[in-house]
Structure 1
Amino acid sequence: MSKSQKVVVVTGASQGIGAEVVKAFRKLDYRIVANSRSIKPSDDPNILCIAGDIGDPATARRVITEGVARFGRIDTLVNNAGIYIGKPFTEHTAQDYAAVVNVNMTGFFHITQLAVAEMEKHSSGHVVSVTSSTADNAISGGYSVLAALTKGGLNAATKSLAIEYAKKGIRVNAVAPGIIKTPMHAPETHEALGAFHPLGHMGEASDIADAILFLDTAPFITGEILHVDGGQSAGR
């Protein structure tokens, strides 16, 4: 396999947005390091699947170490892994809080730190994180405090990292989705959830994958939070 082929790491890669991102990058002939708790091995020799909890530092180390050993480099990191627990704020338990922080923030921290260290060796790379439109645009009737706390933190970190690493050739961006059709949302809820968006419908996983690919091929964009949310961030 040619070492000139680009390599992307995708977390939360087994279903929904993550699976669509893997498919989109493979169409562009990227080699993939795919992670999720439940991911199964792939028959495609250009896809390395590593199962494990991304909030565990040991999993993050395996993803980067085994990815570099197999493919020789890391060009792009897509921080897609995330969970959402929808409850009124006062009903959240300590376990809810720990679970959301573990995936949404701790998972981002460890894998990004390791990926950026690898990118520094080549003076190039791109980190893009999937955050949430509700991080900065709360919706009446939606329970978004833990999403705002964690995904909003990632938006802020995106801007900080973009500035810190700009002169080292590493770009850092985020995509902030609205509510997307994934296995997280039962089909019978789609109409009601679609009404939260000015465009009147939910987004598709491919909409987010397309936005990530756009940012990955836009060399003059860094520190950007790209809202792909059916108009939610513009107002209601």
Structure 2
Amino acid sequence: MNEAQKVAVVTGASQGIGAALVKAYRDRNYRVIATSRSIEQGNDPDIVAVAGDVGDPATAKRVVAEALSRFGRIDTLINNAGIFIAKPFTDYTAEDFAGKVATNLAGFFHVTQAVAAEMLQQGSGHIVSITTSLTDNPIAGVPTALANLTKGGINSATKELAIEYAQQGIRVNAVSPGVIRTPMHAPESLDFLAGLHPMKRLGEIRDVVDAVLYLESAGFVTGEILHVDGGQSAGH
């Protein structure tokens, strides 16, 4: 095992942005721990799949244990796992709330805490969370209070952790996308969603990946909420 080869942990890694991030980090010669509920082990020995619910503390423990036993270190954590439910505030159910909190907040908390503990011992690391531009810039007709509650909390925690760890070798950032073209969006909704951005188009998965890779290489950037939203944040 080459101890100098860097290691990334990616949550929500089985499809969409998460799967693209796994590939992008492998292309940079990182080893990767990829976790999601449904992920399966592939043929690449430098990608280790850890199946589990990110909201369960046991999953975070297994992710860290696998990273250390297989590869000996953790250099980057990408908190990509998340669920998005858009409906009027009074229509949300207790199940909606519990599911969002479990995946978006508990998932962020348990994995980030477990990984940060190892990064502190290592004296270096980078944590990036994928949030949403809607937390800062709500749009009339797009009710997203639970996304704002959960992902907005992660944006705030990103800034706090960036300051908490600023002198300990750990950078903490977030990428805050607009609407990205992924399988979660029904084809008939794409024109409407594209119109939410001043650029009048959807973002692509590659746009988010490029933003994460920029932050990865930007050694003097921490506490940044990087908007990748076709001008949505500027338009407000």
Give the TM-score normalised by the residue count of structure 2. Answer: 0.99
Supply the distance in 2 between the matched residues of 1:207 and 1:85 (Cα, whole angstroms). 22
| Cα deviation, residue 188, structure 1 | 2.3
Task: Give the Cα separation in 2 of the matches to 1:190 and 1:5.
Answer: 40
Partner of 2:146: 146
Classify the secondary structure of the residue corresponding to 1:60.
Answer: helix
Give, in whole Å, the separation in 2 of the partners of 1:193 and 1:155.
23
Residue 112 of structure 1 and its aligned partner are, at CA, apart by 0.3
Q: Which residue number corresponds to residue 171 of structure 1?
A: 171
Deviations 1:98-123 (A, max 9, x none): 00010000000000001010011111
Task: Look up the match of 1:43.
Answer: 43
SS of 1:232's partner is coil
For the aligned residue pairs, the C-alpha RMSD in angstroms reads: 0.7
Q: Please name the residue that 1:128 is paired with.
A: 128
DSSP-derived class of the 1:167 partner: coil
Deviation at 1:86, TM superposition (A): 1.2
CA distance in 1, matches of 2:87, 2:186: 17
Cα distance in 1, alignment partners of residues 42 and 32 from structure 2: 10
Q: CA deviation at 1:65?
A: 0.9
2:73 corresponds to which residue? 73
> Which amino acid in 2 is paired with 1:167?
Q
Alignment-derived partner of residue 56 in structure 1: 56
Shift of 1:165: 0.4
CA distance in 2, matches of 1:91, 1:126: 37
Structure 1 SS opposite 2:127: strand
| Structure-1 separation of matches of 2:2 and 2:190 | 43
In structure 2, distance between residues paired with 1:150 and 1:235: 23
Q: CA deviation at 1:235?
A: 1.4
Pairing of 1:1-236 with structure 2 (within 5 A): 1-235=1-235
**Equivalent-residue separation in structure 1 for 2:213 and 2:80 (angstroms):** 13
Moved more, 42-51 or 180-189: 180-189
Residue type of the partner of 1:172?
A: V
Partner of 1:234, secondary structure, is coil
Structure 1 unaligned segments of length 5 or more: list them.
none
The amino acid of 2:25's aligned partner reads F
Q: CA deviation at 1:173?
A: 0.2
> Matched residues in 2 for 1:202 and 1:157: separation?
27
- One-letter amino acid of the counterpart of residue 13, structure 1: A
Deviations 1:48-94 (A, max 9, x none): 00001000000111011111110100000000000011111000000
Q: How far apart are 1:192 and its partner, in Å?
A: 1.2
- Cα displacement string for residues 188-221 of structure 1 (whole angstroms, at most 9, x for unaligned residues): 2211110000000110111101100100110000
TM score, norm. by length of structure 1: 0.99
Post-superposition offset of 1:187: 2.1
- Alignment identity in percent? 61
Cα distance between partner residues in 2 of 1:15 and 1:190? 19
Q: Secondary structure at the match of 1:192?
A: helix
Within 2, Cα distance between the matches of 1:224 and 1:206?
A: 19
**Alignment: residue pair count:** 236
Give unpaired runs (5+ residues) of structure 2: none
Equivalent position SS for 1:18: helix
Letter paired with 1:55: G
Provide the C-alpha distance between the structure 2 equivalents of 1:30 and 1:126, rounded to a whole number of angstroms. 13
Per-residue deviation at 1:147? 0.6
Please list every run of at least 4 consecutive aligned residues from structure 1 whose deviation after the TM superposition is greater than 4 angstroms: none
2-structure distance, mates of 1:42, 1:165? 35
